[in-house]
Structure 1
Amino acid sequence: MTGYLTTHVLDTARGQPAAGLTIELFRMQGETRTHIRTLTTNADGRTDGPILPKEEFALGNYELVFHAGAYLEASGMPPNTPRFLDLVPIRFGMAEPAHYHVPLLLSPFGYSTYRGS
């Protein structure tokens, strides 16, 4: 099986998928970040395809950056200055050629993630 990477973003404050949230993917080599792509979540809070498809999969360290502040503002949350959450970076490693699923549970004042299935 060749690996690939997916995500799912849920807005736990509103109890629904986080549609329209921008996500950036970077490959990490030490502290050097190489941008791979930028995607936006659909109505289900997922990207339309894998963030990192099978044909581009490589073992290593990565970073997903979720643009939470822009999403929260667009969804009608009153802006704080500065906003408590703006960019949410999640660094993780992929050590085997498998399906990696990195979901984000988001609210205006907190978030959580885990390795999903």
Structure 2
Amino acid sequence: MAGYLSTHVLNTAEGVPGAGIAVELWRLEPAPVLVARTVTTVDGRNRDAFYPEGAGFVAGLHELRFGIGAYFAGRGPGAAFYDVVPVRVRLEAGQGHYHVPLLCSPFGYTTYRGS
């Protein structure tokens, strides 16, 4: 398999999935190209597959852009410190499934390569 990518957003401030968060995937090499846009589901996962079953997969540097500012703005008083959180990852052919979880709050975030 060429490779495919999924993501999962968790709102660690409230202990709930990050539902309704806009996510974009950009391929940055050789020039920036928007690959896909999606919105996370009620369980915080990407609704539409990024590179489903390797379709259109191109190895190289990519960037996921998570719209957490709008998400937290819609959840009550105050605004998030972050607006759009970019996470750059290098995707290589033959590596199978890439999973990039984002754990976030209005004031911080962390990520890692999941499984």
Q: TM-score, normalised by structure 1?
A: 0.89
**Counterpart residue number, 2:48:** 49
Q: Are residue 106 (structure 1) and residue 97 (structure 2) matched? A: no
Q: Are residue 85 (structure 1) and residue 82 (structure 2) matched? A: yes
CA distance in 1, matches of 2:13, 2:61: 30
Q: Which runs of 5+ in 2 are unaligned?
A: none
Question: Contact between 2:38 and 2:46, CA under 8 Å: does it hold in 1?
Answer: yes
Q: Are residue 116 (structure 1) and residue 111 (structure 2) matched? A: no
Q: Shift of residue 5 of structure 1?
A: 0.3
Aligned residues, how many? 113
Given the superposition, is the C-alpha separation of residues 112 and 77 from structure 1 closer, same or farther in structure 2, using an over 3 Å criterion?
A: farther
Question: Contact between 1:103 and 1:114, CA under 8 Å: does it hold in 2?
Answer: yes
Q: Shift of residue 94 of structure 1?
A: 0.9
Q: Are residue 94 (structure 1) and residue 86 (structure 2) matched? A: no
CA distance in 2, matches of 1:42, 1:62: 22
Matched residue type, 2:76: G
Given the superposition, is the C-alpha separation of residues 108 and 49 from structure 1 closer, same or farther in structure 2, using an over 3 Å criterion?
A: same
Question: Among the aligned pairs, what percent are the same residue?
Answer: 47
Relative to structure 2, which stretch is displaced further, 52-61 or 107-116? 52-61
Relative to structure 2, which stretch is displaced further, 49-58 or 36-45? 49-58
Q: TM-score, normalised by structure 2?
A: 0.90
Task: Report matched runs for 1:1-117 at 5 Å.
Answer: 1-29=1-29, 32-53=31-52, 54-79=54-79, 83-97=80-94, 98-117=96-115
Q: Shift of residue 77 of structure 1?
A: 4.5
